[in-house]
């Protein structure tokens, strides 16, 4: 008979190690609070779920050129969604560009009990602010049940505009070279330390950053300011590019520009397949639709297929057939996209990720109820 090894008493070790190492977090810190980006497709590409988005307790970065929609999503959509969940927002504005009127237009509540806006220009000041906040937060709530701890979201808009002391010193001397050496290291240090400080607490950070064109013909993706170390330290990284929106409110193509199309590519995520892309429309008149990009997403999955001049969906769950032109699909007529999203989440993972040939036999053809076909040609 084999002698069983004596079980290791981990409780004593856990107690000693947590006492010896200040700030040590023990156990798993899987996110339990998610904040919507305001767009179902982008939520799906980031989190693997249409209804989630970015996780609290992590660091998310939206990087892109000027006017690509970074602030719209981060300081607008995400802040509003956070407030709707009772999450307090600390908004750090380094560009002096976030006007209260603009935030109100995006339905952000700027009252003091919902949002604190700080205007900062120095990386060191942002780091000290987050560090001091976490020290006070831990001293007050560390011993309390996680459900009793308040949820807080930091939003930094933007990291790319933050300065180092060397930047300021050189400017005062008339030297415009900038601090190209210390700034990437400072940004990486800020993000890395922030990730470690948040740990098991209900605190998260989302930041915007700038990108610049790649000079590498073998790697054409835009590069994110701050270097590779900055990307490694972040939990989620989304690269954005500005494209012109030349369709009107009815979906008709025009020569005029009616808004922007934000091309979003998820460069890094631990919750879904990385390097997936979506183009999100942000019309000037109406703002972003949460359904923007869904039709193209389902076409790529071949759940929506062309049938003449229409797009057709055959439900793998009920067998119902929905057939319409592209415009009513984009407008989510009769909740058609809501139907596909709900059914998509019900499908087994192997079906969600299957290629078209693997999806043919999900429901035998004879079981399809063709009497449920919906023919909406307008």
In terms of domains, do 318 and 182 share one?
no
In terms of domains, do 304 and 167 share one?
no
Asked if residue 45 belongs to a domain, the reply is: yes
In terms of domains, do 284 and 311 share one?
no
In the chain, which residue ranges form alpha helices assigned H by DSSP? 10-20, 40-47, 70-71, 79-84, 100-105, 123-141, 165-172, 182-198, 227-233, 294-300, 326-330, 336-346, 349-352, 356-359
In terms of domains, do 259 and 347 share one?
no
Asked if residue 346 belongs to a domain, the reply is: yes
> What is the chain's alpha carbon radius of gyration, rounded to the nearest angstrom?
24
Residues near 54 by beta carbon (within 8 Å), at least 6 away in sequence: 34, 35, 37, 46, 47, 60, 78, 204, 206, 236
Asked if residue 34 belongs to a domain, the reply is: yes
Q: pLDDT tens digits, residue range 295-306?
A: 999 998 889 999
Range from 11-20, 100-109, 217-226 carrying the lowest mean pLDDT: 217-226
Asked if residue 167 belongs to a domain, the reply is: yes
- Return d(Cα 156, Cα 208) in angstroms, integer: 6
Asked if residue 7 belongs to a domain, the reply is: no
Backbone angles phi, psi at 355, to 5 degrees: -85, 165
Of 269, 292, 315, the residue at which a domain comes to its end is 292
In terms of domains, do 40 and 180 share one?
yes
pLDDT at 181: 65
Asked if residue 44 belongs to a domain, the reply is: yes
- Return d(Cα 375, Cα 40) in angstroms, integer: 26
Number of domains present in the structure of the chain: 2
**Cα first-last separation, the chain:** 77
Asked if residue 20 belongs to a domain, the reply is: no
Of 238, 261, 292, the residue at which a domain comes to its end is 292
Q: Residue 100 sits in a domain of what CATH number? A: 3.40.50.300
Q: pLDDT tens digits, residue range 187-209?
A: 888 888 888 888 778 899 999 99
Q: pLDDT tens digits, residue range 30-71?
A: 889 999 999 999 999 999 999 999 999 999 999 999 899 999
In terms of domains, do 36 and 119 share one?
yes
In terms of domains, do 81 and 230 share one?
yes
Of 292, 311, 331, the residue at which a domain comes to its end is 292
In terms of domains, do 281 and 304 share one?
no
* CA nearest to 209, candidates 94, 58, 45, 344: 94
In terms of domains, do 201 and 342 share one?
no
In terms of domains, do 267 and 372 share one?
no
120: left (phi over 0), alpha (psi -120 to 50) or beta: beta
Supply the range of the domain harboring residue 349.
297-376
């Amino acid at each position: 008979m084999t002698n069983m090894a004596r079980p290791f008493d981990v409780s004593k070790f856990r107690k000693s190690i947590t006492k010896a190492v200040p700030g040590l977090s023990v156990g798993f810190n899987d996110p339990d609070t998610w904040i919507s980006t305001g767009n179902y497709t982008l939520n799906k590409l980031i989190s693997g779920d249409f209804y989630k988005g970015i996780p609290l307790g992590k660091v998310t970065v939206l990087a892109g050129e000027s006017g690509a929609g970074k602030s719209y999503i981060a300081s607008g959509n995400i802040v509003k969604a956070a407030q709707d969940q009772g999450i307090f927002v600390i908004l750090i504005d380094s560009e002096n560009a976030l006007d209260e009127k603009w935030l109100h237009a995006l339905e952000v509540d700027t009252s003091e009990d919902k949002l604190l806006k700080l205007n900062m220009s120095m990386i060191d000041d942002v780091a000290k602010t987050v560090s001091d906040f976490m020290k006070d937060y831990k001293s007050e709530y560390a011993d309390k049940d996680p459900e009793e701890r308040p949820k807080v979201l930091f939003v930094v808009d933007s990291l790319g505009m933050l300065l180092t002391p060397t930047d300021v010193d050189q400017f005062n001397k008339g030297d415009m070279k900038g601090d190209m050496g210390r700034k990437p290291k400072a940004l990486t240090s800020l993000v890395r330390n922030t990730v470690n400080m948040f740990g098991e607490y209900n605190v998260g950070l989302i930041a915007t950053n700038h990108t610049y064109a790649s000079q590498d013909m073998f790697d054409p993706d835009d590069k994110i300011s701050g270097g590779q170390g900055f990307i490694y330290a972040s939990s989620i990284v989304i690269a954005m590019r500005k494209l012109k929106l030349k369709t009107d409110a009815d979906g008709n193509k025009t020569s005029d520009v009616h808004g922007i199309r934000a091309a979003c590519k998820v460069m890094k995520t631990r919750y879904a397949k990385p390097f997936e892309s979506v183009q999100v429309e942000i019309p000037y008149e109406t703002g972003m639709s949460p359904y923007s990009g869904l039709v193209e997403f389902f076409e790529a999955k071949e759940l929506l297929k062309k049938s003449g001049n229409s797009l057709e969906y055959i439900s793998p769950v009920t067998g119902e057939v929905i057939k319409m032109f592209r415009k009513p699909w984009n407008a989510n007529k009769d909740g058609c996209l809501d139907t596909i999203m709900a059914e998509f989440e019900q499908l087994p993972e192997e079906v969600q990720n299957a290629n078209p040939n693997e999806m043919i036999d999900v429901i035998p053809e004879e079981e399809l109820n063709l009497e449920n076909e919906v023919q909406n040609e307008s």
